[in-house]
Amino acid sequence: MKGFLNFVREQGVIGLAVGFLLGGAVSKVVSALVTDIVNPILSVVLGAADGLKDAALEIGEVRILYGDFLSVLIDFVIIALVVYYGVKVLGLEKLDKKKEKK
């Protein structure tokens, strides 16, 4: 059992498991924040009355659909910031045991 616990701590399995669980939960919260609050505000600012996901730039007969990409990018940035600062504030990086140099 001791060997197994050392393996788990040395390989970062605890941090991976915590990150996986928190990442799923945080992702849902951030998606709701972006979809329900940030996107409508950006839609008004950018003049996309139908919503940010439908925002497009038309050049001749070509439509460049930038709204959905912008929405996903905002989602990613917020999730990355929440996870980064969450790990720092909670001190989760200290859970993993550093390998001893031989």
Q: DSSP states of the chain as a string?
A: -HHHHHHHHHTTHHHHHHHHHHHHHHHHHHHHHIIIIIHHHHHHHHT-TT-GGG--EEETTEEE--HHHHHHHHHHHHHHHHHHHHHHHHTGGGSSPPPPP-
Is the per-residue pLDDT at 102 higher than 60? no
Instruction: Read off the pLDDT of residues 20-76 as tens digits, 9 standing for 90 and up.
Output: 887 788 778 888 887 888 878 877 777 665 667 777 888 999 888 888 888 788 888
> Please, what are the domains in the chain?
2-94 (1.10.1200)
